[in-house]
A = this chain, B = another copy of it.
Amino acid sequence: LSQTAPAFVSIDWGTSSFRAYLSDMRGQVLAEVSTDAGALSLKPGEHEAYVAERIRPWLTDAPGLPVIASGMVGARQGWIETPYAVCPAGETEIALATVVASAPSLGRMCIAPGVRTEDARGAPDVMRGEETQILGALAAMGGEDGLFVLPGTHSKWARVEKGRIVGFRTYMTGEVFAVLKTHSVLGRMMIPPSSAVVESEGFTLGLDAARLLARPGDLLHAIFMARTFGLFERVPPRDLAEYLSGLLIGAEILAGADGAKAGTAIGAPSLTARYRAAASRLGVRLMIAPSHCTALGQLTLLRRLKILL
Contacts and interface: CB of A to CB of B under 8 A. Distances in A.
A41 interface: no
Interface stretch (A29-37, A88-96, A192-200, A245-253): A245-253
Nearest to A250: B217
Contact of A221 (B170, B175, B180): B170
Interface string A25-67: 0000000000000000000000000000000000000000000
A215 B258 contact: yes
Nearest to A212: B121
B216 A213 contact: yes
A171 B220 contact: yes
B220 A124 contact: no
A183 B184 CA distance: 10
Interface residues of A, number: 48
A256 interface: yes
B172 A223 contact: yes
Q: Which has the most chain B C-beta neighbours within 10 Å: A176, A186, A212?
A: A176
- Oligomeric state, in number of copies? 2
Contacts of A171: 217, 220-221, 224
Nearest to A187: B179
Contacts of A144: none
- Greatest chain B CB density within 10 A among A125, A180, A212, A219 is at A219
Nearest to A177: B220
Contacts of A182: 183
A210 interface: yes
22 contacts: A121-B212, A154-B224, A170-B228, A171-B217, A171-B221, A172-B184, A172-B221, A176-B184, A179-B183, A182-B183, A215-B254, A215-B258, A216-B218, A216-B219, A216-B251, A217-B219, A217-B250, A217-B252, A217-B256, A218-B255, A219-B251, A220-B255
Given A124-B229, A176-B223, 10 more contacts: A126-B231, A154-B224, A172-B186, A176-B184, A214-B216, A215-B255, A215-B258, A216-B216, A217-B254, A217-B256
